[in-house]
Chains A and B, each alone.
Chain A
Amino acid sequence: MRHILSATIFAASLAVSAGVQAQVPAGYPADYGKIVDAAKKEGKVVIYSTTDAVSANPLVKDFETLYPGVKVEYSDLNSTELYNRFIAESASNNGTGDVIWSSAMDLQVKLVADGLALTYPSPEIKALPKWAVWKDSAYGTTYEPIAFVYNKRLVPEADVPKDHAALLKLLETKPDAYKGKITAYDPERSGVGYLFFNEDIKNFPPSWDLFKAMGKVQTKFYTSAGAMMERVTSGEHTIAYGIFGSYGLARSKKDPNLGIVLPSDFTMVTSRVAFISKNAKNPNAAKLFLDYMLSKRGQEVVAKADLYTLRDDIDSDASIKAVTKLIGDKARPVPIDETLLETLDQTKRLAFLSKWQKAKKGE
């Protein structure tokens, strides 16, 4: 029995590898086969990413099935470490990640602006939203709504805020019930938090009132989404403001006590940005991986991993379609372009932070 089985697998894998060598994915340029062959010669692709290996694992495995002979070496790092390591390695020209894939959109755009990315127009561009492609170098790979996450056991149904205004009202009318119970990213210590709060200001005029109200109820600010969600499920806090919907969705599938709200006035949408390193040692394998990640097949895996696909031709509860169904046209994707560099402007940052420190005290 085992022999028959392994013989079948062997035959199947032969068929697959033979098939891929000749075959170019539908709609791709005819000479794409050359890239595939060159990638196989390179034999591997090195990926630096902020997406944890657990979530990325299905993507890596499926890619290796699709292109046997190209191994994926996957490293997950936090965004600061990734940035520090990548610039040092790029400068030493001693080998670095081939594909750089990070949720720190502003830092990614800076790296591209600093000329550290390879210009490569992916054959998948047509299928992607316009805001998700910049300079044929930086590509958005996910469509992650920023949500309110709350503890269903401890937050009464009537209190669950449906939008930003409702949250502001809740904090103003019931400050005692929610004292110390709200949590959010810390814009002083976390780049993600800084980006989120500044996008809020653009989209929600009374944002500073909301921040002050959060300050008054002694909101606890954290630097990691994991820490926040763990404390929301435990009841130490009950509502988390501004959490990646992807983390919330994955967690709520394991723990039914976790509720997710996509605010109905506007929902910010972020995307993990990927580019190919200019100094890539395996540029062809990198191209394959990037194209795969953006392809329908790759994006289906992205959706399955709850990372939210940005292609509109995929049905899933983690997709553009599902988000649109919930909030209609209220999604506000953060465009991947030079406007993100403004968030890195030091004068603006210091101005925001000093205003923030007052708001945190409720002033």
Chain B
Amino acid sequence: MPIVPIVAYRFLVLGLTTLAVAMPLSLVVYQSFLTAPFFDPSAHTSFAAYSFVFQDDDFWQAFWTTLTICTGMVTIAVPLGALLAFLMVRTDVPGKRYLEPLLLIPIFVSAVVIAFGYVVAVGPVGIFSTLAKDLLGFVPWNLYSLFSLIVIAGLTHVPHVYLYSAAALRGLSTDLEEAARVSGATPFQVAVNVSLPMILPAILFAGVLVFFLGFELFGLPLVLGDPQDVLVLSTYLYKLTNKLGVPSYQLMAVVVVVIIAVTAPLVFTQRLLLRQAQRYVSVRGKGMKSKPLPLHSWRWFAFAAIILWLIVTVAAPLFGITLRSFVVTWGEGVKLLDVLTLDHYRELLEYPNVIRGIVNTFGIGVIGGAIAVACYTAIALAVHRWNSGWTRLVDYIVMVPRAMPGLIAGLALLWVFLFVPFLSPLRSTMVSIWLAYTIVWLAYGMRLVSGTLLQVGPELEEAARVSGASDLRVKRDVTLPLIKYGMLASWLLIFLIFVREYSTGIYLLGPGTEVIGSLLVSLWGTGAIDLVSALSVVNVVMIGAGLAVAIRLGVRLHG
């Protein structure tokens, strides 16, 4: 009876996923209808929190600003990311092997670090600003405007779109593109008319995710929005706390419910679009390797465009933060050569929690990341080729945690760990951090894995089934090997995301659960900028090295 195991497997996975997502979520929703923290005996149900938030002008201002930023980000990141993927995967742009790891840097550097790097580099008295002032007589940009925030947020999210699109493109055979090419299409026409339309599901996923990420944008507005008081929903949470004097669980919960209410229809739209996914199947039971598309005279132009993007998004902020880590002070009227120092790095070594943080961060990235990808794959396989209403439910479920700002998701999980008896011993171990990260990034990892699954044509699996294999065996021996590359890419992505994550771990931070991201935020808050900069550089160098190894390995495994 091959039917029973597969059904059991599907519902087991479905149940576990629902539980993991529903526990923190239902706590948040329940909390939003109370008058006090849910564990407070005086709490009773009411709409008071909703009416307070909806009557607050600041809320609406933050809401519209957030929408503006999200829209701007998608407008910038989606076309650039998709084109970038086409250039990197399909064409003969020079230096691809070296460019590839660099492209991903904006993902794995915490946004707080990038933002602070920008302040040092191009802030009002930043290094490049002073240079521009000397040359032009004025500074041609204003880092703290809403426009700059949108551009920076957009450019730093290009790699997210790139990763999804590239993963999809790699699974796509090139015969259609070659046909177009032979018929005389320019590389740009090939990209826009053939390749990119074929990976539309992946691009749509990425677009929606970038929109989501915009909703929970925290590090960039925290640092760059601070001086001009540019308020987004996540920083509005801070202001809200202060209006009442005492942090208010129920008001924070309301804001999160609003965010989910906005993003849920998006998931619905996306789901409708994906019903057509079958039209995009393109890995058939054949296919062969082919030569990259020659760009000819455009080759170096494309290269220059990528480099320019890298300079603006990666080089400038990282240069800023690195410089900061080697100097005592900086800015107007300071000769940098006079203030060089290595003290900040020496200081790092004096703090056992910082050392533990570095070790933990690496562990959560490599080991935690691998286990998380295994979980995501298990879920993706469970709903794969399952023509049932349940799959729609899973689609919604995995999207939901992404809609919660990491900080709140972390708090909700703290509640879960506190009040669920058998979980409480795990609270002060890395397991709590791992679970929080895995749930928060569920949508992200799932989409990468299932995006790859979408590219697997049904006939290969059907062939196996016709030969007598059970459903589970088909998944193990046919589907899994086919998506090996996608899983590896997912692991890489999840590694980067976990290592960079900074907001989710804040409420779970304690002795034994230190991670670099949360340490950075807490050090930033207390003003230890020297350590923040040095720790950021250590983080970037450490991951950069790990990433180079992974890319090498990945490329070899693929080829």
Interface CB pairs A-B, < 8 A, 16? A52-B528, A53-B351, A54-B523, A73-B511, A74-B511, A77-B522, A89-B418, A180-B124, A190-B238, A194-B245, A230-B527, A231-B123, A234-B331, A235-B334, A346-B243, A349-B245
Task: Tell me the smallest distance from the CB of A303 to a CB of chain B, in Å.
Answer: 19
Task: Tell me the smallest distance from the CB of B406 to a CB of chain A, in Å.
Answer: 13
| Cβ-defined partner of A234 (8 Å) among B125, B243, B245, B510 | B125
Q: Which residues of A from 34 to 67 have beta carbons under 8 Å from B?
A: 46, 50-55, 57
Q: Given contacts A78-B522, A236-B331, are A188 and B411 in contact (CB under 8 A)?
A: no
**Residues of chain B lying within 8 A (CB to CB) of residue A78:** 522, 525-526
**Residues of chain B lying within 8 A (CB to CB) of residue A186:** 229
Q: Given contacts A76-B522, A233-B331, are A227 and B528 in contact (CB under 8 A)?
A: no
In the bound complex, do residue A227 and residue B238 qualify as a contact, i.e. CB atoms below 8 Å apart? no
**Residue A222 lies at the interface, judged by CB distance under 8 Å to chain B:** yes
Q: Given contacts A94-B418, A223-B238, A227-B223, are A153 and B332 in contact (CB under 8 A)?
A: yes
In the bound complex, do residue B510 and residue A73 qualify as a contact, i.e. CB atoms below 8 Å apart? yes
**Residue A297 lies at the interface, judged by CB distance under 8 Å to chain B:** no
Q: Given contacts A85-B414, A94-B418, A226-B528, are A189 and B238 in contact (CB under 8 A)?
A: yes
Query: Which residue numbers of A lie inside 8 Å of B, CB to CB?
Result: 46, 50-55, 57, 73-78, 80-81, 83-85, 87-89, 91-92, 94, 106-107, 110, 153-154, 180, 186-191, 194, 220-227, 229-231, 233-236, 247, 251, 254-255, 257, 343-346, 349-350, 353
**Binary interface encoding of chain B residues 515-559 relative to chain A, with 1 for a CB under 8 A from any of its CBs, else 0:** 000000011111111110000000000000000000000000000
Closest 9 CB pairs of A and B: A234-B331, A226-B527, A235-B332, A52-B526, A344-B245, A91-B39, A92-B418, A235-B331, A73-B511
Task: Tell me the smallest distance from the CB of A155 to a CB of chain B, in Å.
Answer: 12
In the bound complex, do residue A222 and residue B351 qualify as a contact, i.e. CB atoms below 8 Å apart? no
Q: Give the interface size class of chain B.
A: 35 or more
Task: Tell me the smallest distance from the CB of B526 to a CB of chain A, in Å.
Answer: 3
| Cβ-defined partner of B123 (8 Å) among A80, A188, A229, A236 | A236
In the bound complex, do residue B37 and residue A88 qualify as a contact, i.e. CB atoms below 8 Å apart? yes
Task: Tell me the smallest distance from the CB of A61 to a CB of chain B, in Å.
Answer: 10
In the bound complex, do residue A84 and residue B245 qualify as a contact, i.e. CB atoms below 8 Å apart? no
In the bound complex, do residue A222 and residue B227 qualify as a contact, i.e. CB atoms below 8 Å apart? yes
Residue of A nearest to B523 (CB): A52
Task: Tell me the smallest distance from the CB of B445 to a CB of chain A, in Å.
Answer: 27
**Residues of chain A lying within 8 A (CB to CB) of residue B39:** 88, 91-92
Residue of A nearest to B524 (CB): A226
**Residues of chain B lying within 8 A (CB to CB) of residue A353:** 243
**Residues of chain A lying within 8 A (CB to CB) of residue B509:** 75, 77
**Residue B100 lies at the interface, judged by CB distance under 8 Å to chain A:** no
Task: Tell me the smallest distance from the CB of B427 to a CB of chain A, in Å.
Answer: 7
- A57 to B354: give the CA distance in the assembly, Å: 12
Task: Tell me the smallest distance from the CB of A266 to a CB of chain B, in Å.
Answer: 24
- A359 to B310: give the CA distance in the assembly, Å: 43
In the bound complex, do residue A190 and residue B37 qualify as a contact, i.e. CB atoms below 8 Å apart? no
In the bound complex, do residue A57 and residue B350 qualify as a contact, i.e. CB atoms below 8 Å apart? yes
Query: Which residue numbers of B lie inside 8 Å of A, CB to CB?
Result: 37, 39-40, 119-120, 123-125, 223, 226-229, 235, 238-239, 241-247, 249, 328-334, 347, 350-351, 353, 411, 414-415, 418-419, 424, 427, 506-507, 509-511, 522-531
- A73 to B353: give the CA distance in the assembly, Å: 10
**Residues of chain B lying within 8 A (CB to CB) of residue A91:** 37, 39-40
| Cβ-defined partner of B249 (8 Å) among A81, A84, A231, A257 | A84
- A154 to B347: give the CA distance in the assembly, Å: 29
Residue of B nearest to A192 (CB): B242
In the bound complex, do residue B524 and residue A154 qualify as a contact, i.e. CB atoms below 8 Å apart? no
In the bound complex, do residue A343 and residue B245 qualify as a contact, i.e. CB atoms below 8 Å apart? yes
Other than the known A226-B528, A343-B245, what 10 A-B pairs have Cβ atoms closer than 8 Å? A75-B511, A83-B247, A84-B249, A92-B419, A194-B242, A223-B238, A227-B524, A229-B529, A234-B125, A353-B243
In the bound complex, do residue B525 and residue A224 qualify as a contact, i.e. CB atoms below 8 Å apart? yes
